[in-house]
């Protein structure tokens, strides 16, 4: 499996009540369907009939494609809870894996990650292109300067079909809780490493 790291980020999309919704490409498909219908009736040729059938079957193929993604894309999440001292470096890693032979070039992962100064955690939308059998690593480190409880993880995934007709939301809700304690609170516990604590992946979760 190839390992890549996503880089492009944008605003978090507005959450809908429905897991399957229309995407921006649905309007273009509707225009193509009407145009192919007009050409089919006007030309009465086999080529126009084939074009109309192809355009008409695109939504069905797109839905099957998205249903496969629910079983093909998996998430490797870190341990559920970790305790660190204030100002102690924390290394964390999450992995998104495409186990299918199909490519998924349009995937948006809504991740809850620390801000630049690790004052709080916020939701960020990361754009990912996943070729077949690909592993995407999200690696970062943070130094929390204030005591409190923080959450790091993945809220949901938005998967688009190749023609961006539909958008499928896959709810993940896999988070790790980071408890930041006062300095010297943990003493010589196992989390106090010279180079900072590590939040390593512990188990698989499929959806």
| Structural Rg of the chain based on CA atoms | 22
pLDDT digits (tens, 9 = 90+) for 6-59: 556 667 888 888 999 999 999 999 999 999 999 888 888 888 899 999 999 999
% of the chain with per-residue pLDDT over 90: 43
CA distance 71 to 197: 33
The band of 200, judged by pLDDT with boundaries at 50, 70 and 90, is very low
Q: What is the DSSP string of 68-86?
A: HHHHHEEEEEE-SEEEEET
pLDDT at site 204: 38
pTM over 0.85: no
Nearest by Cα to 169 from 86, 110, 112 = 110
Q: At CA 99, angle to CA 132 and CA 64, rounded to 5?
A: 80
Q: Could you give phi then psi for residue 145, rounded to 5 degrees? A: -90, -10
Q: Say if residues 94 and 77 touch (Cβ distance below 8 Å).
A: yes
pLDDT at site 19: 94
């Amino acid at each position: 499996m190839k390992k890549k790291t996503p880089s492009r980020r944008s605003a978090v999309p507005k959450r809908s009540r429905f897991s399957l919704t229309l995407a921006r490409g649905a309007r273009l498909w509707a225009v193509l369907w009407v145009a192919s219908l007009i050409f089919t009736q006007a030309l009465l040729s086999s080529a126009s009939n084939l074009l109309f059938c192809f355009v008409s079957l695109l939504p069905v193929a797109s839905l099957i494609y998205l249903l496969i993604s629910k079983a093909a894309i998996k998430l490797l999440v870190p341990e559920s809870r970790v305790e660190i001292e204030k100002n102690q470096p924390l290394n964390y890693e999450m992995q998104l894996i495409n186990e299918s032979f199909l490519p998924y070039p349009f995937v948006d992962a809504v991740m809850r990650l620390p801000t630049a100064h690790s004052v709080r955690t916020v939701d960020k939308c990361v754009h990912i292109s996943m070729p077949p059998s690909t592993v995407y690593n999200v690696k970062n480190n943070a130094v929390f300067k204030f005591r409190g409880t923080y959450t790091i993880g993945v809220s949901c995934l938005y998967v688009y079909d190749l023609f961006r007709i539909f958008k499928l939301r896959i709810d993940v809700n896999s988070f790790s809780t980071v408890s930041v304690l006062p300095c010297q609170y943990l003493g010589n516990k196992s989390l106090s490493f010279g180079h900072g604590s590590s939040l390593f992946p512990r188990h698989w979760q499929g959806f």
